[in-house]
Amino acid sequence: MSAKVSLVALVVFLTQSLRVIAICEVDPASEPFQVFDEMFREILGDSPTLELLHNSSEPAEFHEGPVYYSNGQSSYLLYTTQPPADYTDENVEPQITIQQYDIASDTIATFRNASLANMPNGQSKDLDGKLLTCEQGFRDTALGRITRTDMSTGEVEVVIDSYYGRKFNSPNDVVMKSDGTIWFTDPEYGYQQAFKPSPEIGSFLYRYDPEGPDPKLTIVADDFERPNGLAFSPSEDYLYVSDSGAIQGSGPYRTDLPHHIRRFEVHDNKYLRNSELFAITTECVNVAEGVMPGIPDGIKVDICGNVYVSGGDGVEVFNPDGALIGKILLGRGSPNLVFGGKYGNELYILADVALYRVSLKIQGAMYSDVTSPEELITKDQCPQSSSPQTSSSLSSMDTSIMFHSIQVLISLMLGVVLTK
């Protein structure tokens, strides 16, 4: 019996090994879309294209906080940058700005300069279309806070700037629920990256109710290593939050720390219950080295509840059960992404030195009320997951790598047997 069980276990290990290698086998330059489930092929449509909209000479021009706007005359993205290439003096506040990219003209203008932007990071819209911004602050001279910008007047309102007198660390990402409450993450990256003082409070996930009774600001989760991106499911019954603890500041990967997405049940519109591991991300290095911990960052959800996560080599797409159904490979990391376009089916992907766009057959969750053309998937036509399949790249896998993986796994199995 034990030999039979060991053989079954070995087959399972081998299958998973080949699948992992297959994930990293595709050359993003020739094949940017990797399908692991037929439902992702339905989402992509018959002839998907990864468009490179803009290349930048700066190391992190397209970094964080993408928000799509359209005013009837033009459509544009607002996003936040990282320090420019010539930034060297750590005693001077980095020139991090909020930029505006005009999609039709392929031009970039500064929406808010560094002296006013206060080290911006994640951004999103509120229910009225105003811009919510996570401002990380700098040293002791500027507080970390959440602000709201009226897009018609330019007026900036401070929403919240402390937890009852304790300074925030470096607010990272923010989203508004349909009831008007504001949810945001606050990891310690500012301290680790030496632009904020020692933390006065932990790396927490917050809920702020500007119209509710006291306490208006509450900590809804306090057990993250580094809480990062967040997004609600279409029904808002669930909240997805990425934990990027595997990267500590600007140091090397810590493979023993989180690089995953957690899912919470939302109770009574204000409490989080039953946290569960939703998905773990991976990052392709090269076939010989296998995979590294993918650092999950921005999260977006489509109308069918599929989850799009930006990470170390592009975008990973998971179905509502947490199964990886596909990847959009860029050959470089992606800090964040956003749905946009007239019907909300265009996925804009920030990749620091570049900006990409993919037109999908499905809308982002926030566009569920936008009437779409017949060719797009509706909420009543959500694709269903098929049987797990191995990436097509498996057929062209280098046999020496496959053999090496088999050797390693057999050695591991033998080691387990010998230690019993």
Report pLDDT digits (tens) over 350-375: 999 999 999 999 999 999 999 989 99
How many C-beta neighbours within 10 Å does residue 199 have? 18
Q: Are 230 and 185 in contact (CB under 8 A)?
A: yes
* Mean pLDDT, all residues of the chain: 86
Q: Are 339 and 300 in contact (CB under 8 A)?
A: yes
**CATH number of this structure's domain 2-418, picked from the four choices 3.30.420.40, 2.120.10.30, 2.40.50.180, 2.60.40.10:** 2.120.10.30
CA distance 78 to 318: 26
CA distance 324 to 284: 15
Q: What is the DSSP letter of 302?
A: B
Question: Who has greater pLDDT, 155 or 408?
Answer: 155
Closest CA to 314 of 294, 339, 334: 334
Per-residue pLDDT of 218-261, as tens digits, reads 999 999 999 999 999 999 999 999 999 998 876 677 888 999 99
pTM (2 d.p.)? 0.87
Residue owning tokens 């179905």:
319
Q: Are 354 and 360 in contact (CB under 8 A)?
A: no
Domain segments of the chain as ranges: 2-418
Per-residue pLDDT band at 84 (split at 50, 70, 90)? confident
Q: 9-18, 61-70, 168-177 — which is least confidently predicted? A: 9-18
- Please state the rounded mean pLDDT for residues 333-359: 97
> Which two structure tokens, joined as six digits, stand for 262?
């957690």
Write the CA distances from 394 to 10, 15, 19, 20, 286, integer angstroms: 19, 11, 8, 10, 14
Q: Are 356 and 340 in contact (CB under 8 A)?
A: no
Per-residue pLDDT band at 137 (split at 50, 70, 90)? very high
Specify the amino acid at residue 22: A
How many C-beta neighbours within 10 Å does residue 384 have? 10
- Please state the rounded mean pLDDT for residues 184-196: 92
- Please state the rounded mean pLDDT for residues 94-120: 95
CA distance 262 to 407: 34
Q: What is the DSSP letter of 310?
A: E
Specify the 3-state DSSP secondary structure of 320.
coil
